[in-house]
Amino acid sequence: MENNRKDEVYSNVVRAGKRTYFFDVKETKGRDLYITITESKKVYNEDGSEYYQKHKIFLYKEDFEKFQNGLADVIEKIAELRATGNYKPDNDFTSNSTKETKEDEVDFDNL
């Protein structure tokens, strides 16, 4: 992958229904690595015009393991809760999240 921005080392885009997640590995001037996670969602103004609402999280190297452990913990808990039969099963979740429509496509020039 050719870097368009000097600080960007790697990028992974995940389309998930009406949202798109960007996982970017970046570097500081001191050559430390950090992660930005951006959620982008297309929303509409009252006049029908569209724009992308973005939320960004910065994750620094000293927090990588804690973040990974926290995420793994809640994903494991979700699996346990679904196994009780009181929540939608995993197959319902994955089949709905992978459907993409023309509306879900992202125009990167608008981000």
Over residues 72-93, the pLDDT tens digits come to: 999 999 999 999 999 988 765 5
Residue 95 has pLDDT above 50, yes or no: no
The architecture that CATH gives domain 8-99 is: Roll (3.10)
Question: In sequence order, which ranges of the chain are alpha helices (DSSP H)?
Answer: 64-83, 90-97
Q: What is the pTM of this model?
A: 0.69
* Alpha-carbon gap, residue 27 to 1, rounded angstroms: 15
Contacts of 81 (CB under 8 A, 6+ apart): 87
Average per-residue pLDDT for the chain: 84
* Alpha-carbon gap, residue 68 to 64, rounded angstroms: 6
The percentage of residues in the chain with a pLDDT greater than 90, rounded to a whole number, is: 69
* Alpha-carbon gap, residue 40 to 15, rounded angstroms: 10
